[in-house]
Chains A and B, each alone.
Chain A
Amino acid sequence: MNIPNVNFPNVNHLIHAYRVAPWRVQRQWIGNALLAVVVFAMVAALYLNVTSRTAIAGREIQDLTDAIASSQQVSSDMQTQLASLTSASAMEKRAREMGFRPVQPEELEYLVVPGYVAPEAVDLSSTIQPQLNALTIPPEYNQSLLDWMDERLVSRSIQ
């Protein structure tokens, strides 16, 4: 088998020709452009994804806030219903139906109970910490990327 006589200068020429071939330059331009498009699309998709997720999170917070308000309304409603069922007239009616009657003063017997402390009036203090009026959703959940950039630019210009 004969080995071809390699002419190195010719090879270099071919490589150079390959590198500067017009179609290759075009492909490079197209590739770079496509890369830019892909990067832009990725950033856009990421932005869209984050924005939509924050919007959904914000909506969920609103829904939960609505649910809390609704639950409080229902709680107040049920408390009022309970008060109606145990109103003075309702309790007296039930007591009479069960055979009770108002006690007469002469029927009362007062006993001395050591250590007994007469009950004071009601105390409606709650152990639940009061809810502050300040907004508590962090800006990450209600601020878009553009809002954030805008805020940064404004704060920088103020500095």
Chain B
Amino acid sequence: MRQQYARRSRVLAGALALFALAIVVQMTRIQNSPEADVFRQESENYAYEWRTFYPNRGEIYDRNGRLLAGEKIVYEIGVDLTVMTDAHAISYAVADALNLDYNQLMEVIQNPPEGISYIVLADYVDASEALYLQDLKKALNDQAPEGSVGGLTGLQFKSHPQRSYPENALGSNILGFVNREGKGYFGVEEKYDSLLAGNPVTVLVPTDPNKAFEIPHAPDGTTLILSINRDLQAAAEDILDTALGTYGARDGVIAVMDPQSGELLAIAVSRRMDLNQFWNYGAVYDSATEFNPVISKTYEPGSVIKILTMAAALDSNTVTPETTYLDTGSVLIGGVTIENWDKNPWGIQNMVGCLQHSLNVCMVHLSTQMGATTFYNYFDAFGFGHLTGVDLAWEAPGRLKVPGDEDWYPVDLGTNAFGQGVAVTPIQMMAAASSVANHGRMVIPHVLYAMVRDGRQYQVPEQFGATPISTQTADTLNNMLAVSLEDESSLALVPGYRVAGKTGTAQIPVNGIYDSEQTNTSFIGWGPVDDPQFMIYVWLERPTESPWGSETAAPVFSEMAQRTAVLLNIPPDWVRQKLVSK
């Protein structure tokens, strides 16, 4: 009996062992079959996925540490269709809170695309609105009967950062903006887009939730500190807005720069937009050049360019300040008669009188005395027709016609000397005039003061441009300009500060003919003359109260200079001289 059981047991054990062996053999066979390789490859494809981590965009500060561009939290609001219980409640609540169309929301929720379990209802929702919906969802959940859920179950909130501009429209033309895809447009945001955006980090991430992986640290984008002074910018915009109303100008700009370093301190333009609503761009501007006319919009500058004609004449030893000439009121050049602004002769004038009375005939006299080659060599050295290199997007190079160009005529040698027939931007005028204020050396205008990366601040080194005129020429002309303003008791004078500068009144070419009534008025000046700390450029387009720069742009310069002196803590000349004498 026992032997019988033993035999049965052995048979059973053998059968089981064979079965186990068969399983092992089958497992081994499956593991090594060609199909197994396919499955293995498939599983590896799904085991990991490439994921990109985007760094926070760098912030933008003014020179005093005031935040101009940062980030705020906004929300994406969506519905998880797998747990949603009441489409009507969700549609109604979201439509009511976010001012959306109820029927449209219902349509989206009830007819989702095939295979979709999560639908985005709204994105970039303000925190306050999202918080309201979150509170509502919680309240409905709390009030729901035991064993059931609230009507907003399935409504989900995902926070993410969005570019925000705390000063709204202030300095909008300098900053530019970032769209929802994170791309910078205009100004600093476009010029330094790659620096601000930082470098995204792409890593292979396991999809198995039980496999721990570390979220890589994507270093934040570089933070920028601008040379802009926020308070000065606000003052410039305030003065410009008032000036537009006072003089009936269509548009205008005021730019303030440190003429010794090229740091731009303020750039005010008349058309500004709230950067937090960048989608209104099309409603504010007709073209891209209007976003920041200081760097993008070219125009015939008129008499302000006489500073540079005189600089060229002095530097080439064509004249000295005491050189006289007989002003007959008109001069013929290239078959065209050029007249003074008042069409009157001014008799014998020296070079200070020439600047003081802004005589066109004198300028034609200077350019012809120099000759085209010398004159255009100087204007080329001043940077006309070239980019200044200002670190803002959309700079225009302007146009300087020179002998040999198809559209250059001999009369251009005369008209260019007093600012007609040459297209420049305000920033080009400032860069060129900085050679006079800065002992002959031009600066490269810029807005970037420093960069902060990984906790370290890197100062932007000083950069200078060409030296088109000698120190002696610059200092002589500096004094001539100051004297000419003082002698004519200009409205540009600044009480307590000696300033140098020049008005400009330029006719506007319309279809090739100069408009006899509308003008562009401007003034460029700097001070204090013995140690220039600010250079201000004012341009008013088509003022209706007066067509003259001396009556419109000059007083605006004076007001801006006074505010600049206060905000930059520049003591009056007598105080500084007293300090120096001690």
Contact = CB atoms under 8 A, between A and B. Distances in A.
Interface in A103-133: 103, 105-106, 108, 110, 112, 118, 121-133
A92 B127 CA distance: 26
Interface in B153-179: 159, 161, 164, 166-168, 170
Interface stretch (B223-231, B304-312, B334-342, B522-530): B223-231
Given A80-B166, A105-B565, A130-B456, 4 more contacts: A65-B215, A87-B170, A130-B455, A133-B201
A7 interface: no
A135 B495 contact: no
Interface in A51-78: 54-55, 57-59, 61-62, 65-66, 69-70, 72-74, 76-77
Interface in B212-232: 212-219, 223, 225, 227, 230-231
Given A79-B67, A105-B565, A108-B566, A129 B213 contact: no
A106 B496 CA distance: 9
A133 B219 contact: yes
A20 interface: no
A133 B213 contact: no
Interface residues of A toward B: which range? 35 or more
Contacts of B217: 131-133
**CB-CB nearest 5 A-B residue pairs:** A58-B212, A130-B454, A122-B65, A126-B455, A83-B166
Contacts of B486: none
Nearest to B576: A110
A23 B134 CA distance: 72
Nearest to A60: B212
B170 A121 contact: no
Given A79-B70, A133-B219, A73 B159 contact: yes
A81 interface: yes
Interface of A: 54-55, 57-59, 61-62, 65-66, 69-70, 72-74, 76-77, 79-84, 86-89, 92, 103, 105-106, 108, 110, 112, 118, 121-133, 135-137, 141-142, 144
B72 A81 contact: yes
Contacts of A118: 569
A76 B63 contact: no
Contacts of A135: 214, 216
Contact of A121 (B59, B211, B450, B455): B450
Interface in B281-307: none
B166 A87 contact: yes
Contacts of A59: 212
A124 B214 contact: no
Nearest to B203: A135
Contact of B457 (A105, A123, A127, A128): A123
